[in-house]
Structures are given as C-alpha cells and as structure tokens.
Amino acid sequence: MTTRDYKNENNRRAWAMLLLTSAFEIGYALSVGGSQAFTVIRCSIAAIVFFLLTLYFLSMSLKTIDVGVSYVVWAGIGAVVR
C-alpha cells in the first residue's frame, strides 16, 4: 500500500466517522426529547450513550478533517434531519 492509498483510506474513514457522528447526534436529540427531562430512564441512558458516541466519533474524525468543515457538515446534517 502506498502513502497515497493510505491517505485516501484514512480520509474515507474520517468522513464515514463524521457521518456516523451526525447519525448519533440525531439519536441523541431524539432520546433527550423522549427522556422527558431525564425522568424516563431508558431514554435517558440512550441519550447518554448517543452523546458519548457522538463525542468519540467526532474527535476521531477531527484528526483528519478540518474543524470548520466538520462542524458545518455535522451541524448541517443535524439541522436538515431534525
């Protein structure tokens, strides 16, 4: 595998993680809404899990993708879907 192939693979992986981040953010928003101020335990736990997954995958994608681009994509997908 050449250096160019490695960079392309790493770039694709970062974009996939960013798309997963957006999906987890949507799950988080829906879970928080369903938790009724964190009184419904199942939705509250789901919200916490989705939030942690969002943070993890966003931080991993930021190793390759610029912060400004990542934020625009992440926030844009979340705004369109909600």
pLDDT digits 0-9 by tens, 41-82: 999 999 999 999 999 999 999 999 999 999 999 888 888 876
- pLDDT value of residue 82: 65
User: Contacts from 19-25 at CB under 8 Å and sequence distance 24+?
Assistant: 19/77, 20/53, 20/57, 21/54, 21/57, 21/58, 21/61, 21/74, 22/73, 22/74, 22/77, 22/78, 22/81, 24/50, 24/53, 24/54, 24/57, 25/50, 25/54, 25/74, 25/77, 25/78
What residue segments make up the domains of the chain, in order of their start?
3-81
Over the stretch 30-42, which tens digit does the pLDDT of each residue have? 999 999 999 999 9
pTM equals 0.84
Over the stretch 13-28, which tens digit does the pLDDT of each residue have? 999 999 999 999 999 9
